[in-house]
Amino acid sequence: MISTSRLLLRPFTVSDAPKLFVMSIEEGMRRWIPDQVYRDEQHAEQVARALMAFTAQSPDPGVRPYVLGIEDQNTGVLIGHVGLSAARGSVEIGYAIEQQLQGRGLATEAVIAMSGWALTELSLPEVLGIVEADNVHSCRVLEKAGFVLEDDEIKIVDGVSRTRRIYRCRQDRRSA
Ligand SMILES: CC(C)(COP(=O)(O)OP(=O)(O)OC[C@H]1O[C@@H](n2cnc3c(N)ncnc32)[C@H](O)[C@@H]1OP(=O)(O)O)[C@@H](O)C(=O)NCCC(=O)NCCS
């Protein structure tokens, strides 16, 4: 578990499934993380169980995802998720906050805590953030959390040009 001033980052439980499903079908999730939109509560429960099995093992996000639920410390309610997973020979961070609580700095708080934990406790050399350039709120989260924009990748999808931003956070840069 990782605690911040407003949040508790903790493993999922089976009882998170209904809320996990509701959050997964919100507009932002459909647009930006469509592979994490679940069919129903049962599907969300399967995902929660898989994530629980991963977090029951020692954290090794280059090998298996390490994803925690974000809980509001005041209410004890699940309000999002933040996690680490393998990408490009390194580890990337992913995150989401439920729609009605966005714009309050909660994702930034969770990303600072999770990436800081990965760099110090897991001794990872770096954490990547890989985001569509159009997802401006997500880009802002990474920038406010101390990630540095390293590259823009442009690719054509269905005749439309899409830019993907690659951010990187290193321990030396975070503390600089
Ligand atoms: C991206 C996301 C996690 C941001 O969560 P959040 O808790 O709102 O983020 P924060 O409040 O920490 O900061 C985000 C920035 O976007 C702004 N922002 C967020 N929601 C906003 C809104 N509805 N209107 C205006 N600005 C908003 C914040 O003000 C902040 O920018 P600023 O410091 O320049 O003001 C959230 O929008 C989300 O879950 N989106 C869907 C999933 C997703 O895209 N995940 C990232 C995939 S890479």
Encode burial over 148-159: b for 16+ CB neighbours within 10 A, e otherwise.
Answer: eeeeeeeeeeee
User: Residue with the nearest Cα to atom 9 of ligand 1?
Assistant: 107
Q: Which residues pair with 45 in a beta bridge?
A: none
What pLDDT does residue 175 have? 52
Nearest atom in ligand 1 to 111's CA: 12
What are the structure tokens assigned to 76, written together?
Answer: 């004890």
Contacts of 69 (CB under 8 A, 6+ apart): 9, 10, 11, 12, 16, 20, 78, 80, 81
Fold of 2-124: Aminopeptidase (3.40.630)
What pLDDT does residue 99 have? 98
- Token pair 């997500």 is found at 138
3-class SS string, 85-149: EEECCEEEEEEEECHHHCCCCHHHHHHHHHHHHHHHCCCCCEEEEEEECCCHHHHHHHHHCCCEE
Q: Compute the distance from residue 141 Cα to the ligand 1 centre, in Å.
A: 7
What pLDDT does residue 127 have? 98
Residue type, 99: Q
CA distance 95 to 146: 15
pLDDT in tens, the chain (176 residues): 999 999 999 999 999 999 999 999 999 999 999 999 999 999 999 999 999 999 999 999 999 999 999 999 999 999 999 999 999 999 999 999 999 999 999 999 999 999 999 999 999 999 999 999 999 999 999 999 999 999 999 988 888 899 999 999 998 756 54
What pLDDT does residue 44 have? 98
- Contact residues of ligand 1, CB 6 A cut-off: 28-29, 32-33, 95-97, 102-108, 131, 135, 137-138, 140-141, 144
- Token pair 């906050």 is found at 97
Q: Compute the distance from residue 117 Cα to the ligand 1 centre, in Å.
A: 21
